[in-house]
Structure 1
Amino acid sequence: MTPPLLGSGSTPQPVRACIFDLDGLLINSETLLTEARNSTLAEYSRPSMSGTVKASLQGRSAQESTRILYESANFSSSTKVEEARTTTTTTPTPTMEEFQSRLDRRLREVFGTTRLMPGVEKLLRNLTRATTTTTSVVGDKGGSSGGTGSERKKNRVELALATSSQSAMYRLKTDRLSGPDGVLSLIPQGHKVLGDDERLKRGRGKPFPDIFLLALEVVNETVRKKENEREIKPAECLVFEDAVAGVEAARRAGMRVVWVPEKWLRDMYVGREGEVFSSAGRSAGEGEMGMDGAEAGESGWGEVLSSLEDVDYEKYGIVVGDEQ
């Protein structure tokens, strides 16, 4: 069941889990993906993607993004495709499957060159030694007065990954960064949820909240094994995203979110950043969130950063320990 959207009247709790997107946030694969898509379009004498189309593809599954791209390029209908394939042209119109196949070949060429985005290594290394303190209400241990008290507990910050990338492409993008000494290995393997995870329902990718809720569930599987530590709630999660669809998914999951858009995307929303945060409820037909972007920032439920280098740990109740 999807948690209710949190309004500006709710006070954020200290963050106990950080959940990361992958493409365009931790690694520069969005830039490589754009280059591959545009070069594939050019092979069929189509212009490069517009910013609007590019933004609409972010965070989507490979199948969904290819469908959107194929339709936006105004390729012929299936009937006309067959007619075109029988003519002698230098750039015959492809079927969607042929377009996807050619794009995949190009992606396999470029994804082996991915690199970390600025601030990623420092952020992940800091979070692996970070803690947060929560306060829980406890009953009177004596049982005679029926009174209650509070108990403060220090917990380590849990890390997870929630990406629309499917297994094969994920490995291609991250092999160099996920080995024993790789930065992405700082996120536990069991806390990584990929787009083709069999526990996810088909057709429920971002902006639906499912992938973030599943990421929280796998984190809580770890938490349940610890002594005297309660499960983490959605409101205690901080999602890092670069895509609008991902921000929507995180907010619809009832989680706090840090939006780190690339410059071209942020430029598209200059003066309209609130639309990104306030669109979460509307996109699912769930009504308004009860806050716009400014309110989200003021209340601590959402903020926009230019880089992961700018994360303010204290704002989220996170304390980074000394290096060992």
Structure 2
Amino acid sequence: MDGLLLNTEDIYTITLNEILARYSTGPLTWDVKIRLQGLPGPEAGRRVIEHYNLPITLEDYDRMNLEIQSSKWGSCAFLPGALELLNYLHGKGIPIALCTSSNKTKFKGKTSHLTHGFDLFDAIVTISDPRIPKGRGKPHPDIWQLGLKLLNEKFHSNIEAKDCLVFEDGIPGVQSGRAFGAHVIWVPHPEATNYLGDVDKVLGERGELLTSLEKFDPKKYGL
């Protein structure tokens, strides 16, 4: 969801820079940010505190994050090509699941004002789902495994991971998609381009790098 469907990565940057400014440090740069994308909130928070040597606890960080972010979720919007892709897949009857590292509260905050889009998903899994073991967020594959399980239950199907496409924007998400066994469509933030590292190594043999969801060709995958 974050940074792939919605513009929340830019909102996260603004929020974190406000926190860093309180301690006369920052700003957040993409060489750091790219290591935070897709991680569960607590893990990302710990990395920020450690990298910037902030004199606060994770609880302090979470409280400030929640306070600032809550005032900004109303500006969440779909990124180019995202809503069009969801409409296309739904219209073709292709099972789609949202699997996000955001918890349920943040998911609602980011999406409640969007009247159309997330209603198209056949299954929605947030990181706070009790069926995901603690500590098994991305880059572990558990969230995708649960999403696929829910799709198979709904459609009485037997879809396998190797038959799935995982759409991601961050490296931990790409790694989790590969660990899951799917083909990964990687759509990084434009400003992350110079910090992706060895793209072929990250993607492996089952993946594709795109500059935008607008560039995704569903017919290439028989959709």
Q: What is the TM-score normalised by the length of structure 2? A: 0.96
Cα distance in structure 1, aligned partners of 2:33 and 2:49: 12
The aligned counterpart of 1:233 is 160
1: distance between equivalents of 2:104 and 2:78? 19
The percentage of aligned residue pairs carrying the same residue is 35
For the residues of structure 1 that align with 2:106 and 2:140, how far apart are their CA atoms? 22
Q: Offset at 1:169?
A: 0.8
State which of 110, 125, 150 in structure 2 corresponds to 1:173: 110
Q: Runs of 5+ in structure 1 lacking a partner? A: 1-21, 76-92, 131-155, 225-229, 279-295, 319-324
In 1, Cα distance between equivalents of 2:88 and 2:82: 10
Q: Is residue 41 of structure 1 aligned with residue 3 of structure 2?
A: no
Report the equivalent of 1:105. 67
Offset of residue 273 of structure 1: 1.3
Asked if residue 66 in structure 1 is aligned to residue 45 in structure 2, the reply is: yes
1:95 aligns with 2:57: yes
Q: Secondary structure at the match of 2:98?
A: strand
Q: Indicate the residue corresponding to 2:209 in structure 1.
A: 304
Write the deviation string for residues 168-198 of structure 1: whole angstroms up to 9, x where unpaired.
Answer: 1110000012x4xx1221113xx00001000
d(CA) in 2 for partners of 1:41 and 1:275? 33
State how many pairs are aligned: 223
1:275 shift after superposition: 2.8
Establish whether residue 255 from structure 1 lines up as the match of residue 217 from structure 2.
Answer: no
Equivalent runs, 1:263-282 vs 2, <5 Å: 263-269=190-196, 272-278=198-204
Q: Is 1:161 aligned to residue 98 of structure 2?
A: yes
For the aligned residues, what is the CA RMSD? 1.3
Write out per-residue CA displacement over residues 277-312 of structure 1, whole angstroms, 9 at most, x where no aligned residue: 24xxxxxxxxxxxxxxxxx2xxxx210111111111
Mapped to 2, the partners of 1:312 and 1:111 lie a distance apart of 30
- Secondary structure at the residue paired with 1:257? strand
Q: 1:263 Cα deviation (Å)?
A: 1.1
State the AA in 2 paired with 1:209: P
Q: Give the ranges of 4+ consecutive aligned residues of structure 1 lying more than 3 Å apart after TM superposition.
A: none
Q: Deviations over 1:1-32 (max 9, x none)?
A: xxxxxxxxxxxxxxxxxxxxx00011001110
Using the TM superposition, give the Cα deviation of residue 269 of structure 1 relative to its aligned residue in structure 2, in angstroms. 2.7
Letter in 1 for 2:62: Q
Alpha-carbon separation, structure 2, partners of 1:194 and 1:99 = 21
Structure of higher CA gyration radius:
1
Q: CA deviation at 1:236?
A: 0.8
Alpha-carbon offset, residue 94 of structure 1: 2.8
Matched, 1:121 2:83: yes
> SS at 1:25's partner residue?
coil
- TM-score, length-scaled by structure 1: 0.67
Task: Report the residue type matching 1:256 in the other structure.
Answer: H
Alpha-carbon distance in 2 for matches of 1:30, 1:268:
16
- Greater helix content: 2
C-alpha displacement at 1:157, in angstroms?
1.2
1:314 aligns with 2:212: no
Q: Could you say which structure has the greater relative contact order, defined with CA pairs below 8 angstroms and 6 or more residues apart?
A: 1
Deviations 1:100-147, CA, capped at 9 Å, x for gaps:
2112101111112100000112111111122xxxxxxxxxxxxxxxxx
1: CA distance, partners of 2:73 / 2:113: 11
C-alpha distance in structure 2 between counterparts of 1:98 and 1:129, whole Å: 44
Question: Of residues 118, 139, 144 in structure 2, which corresponds to 1:184?
Answer: 118
1:249 Cα deviation after fit: 0.3
Q: Flag the 1:166–1:314 CA change in 2: closer, same or farther, 3 A.
A: same
| Contact 2:3/2:169 (<8 A) preserved | yes
Aligned counterparts of 1:113 and 1:264: Cα–Cα separation in 2: 20
Matched with 2:7 is 28
- Counterpart in 1 of 2:32? 53
CA deviation map 1:223-277 (0-9, x unaligned): 21xxxxx41011110011001100110011110110000112122237x311322
Secondary structure, aligned partner of 2:12: helix
Asked whether the 8 Å contact 2:101–2:126 carries over to 1, the reply is: yes
Letter in 2 for 1:105: E
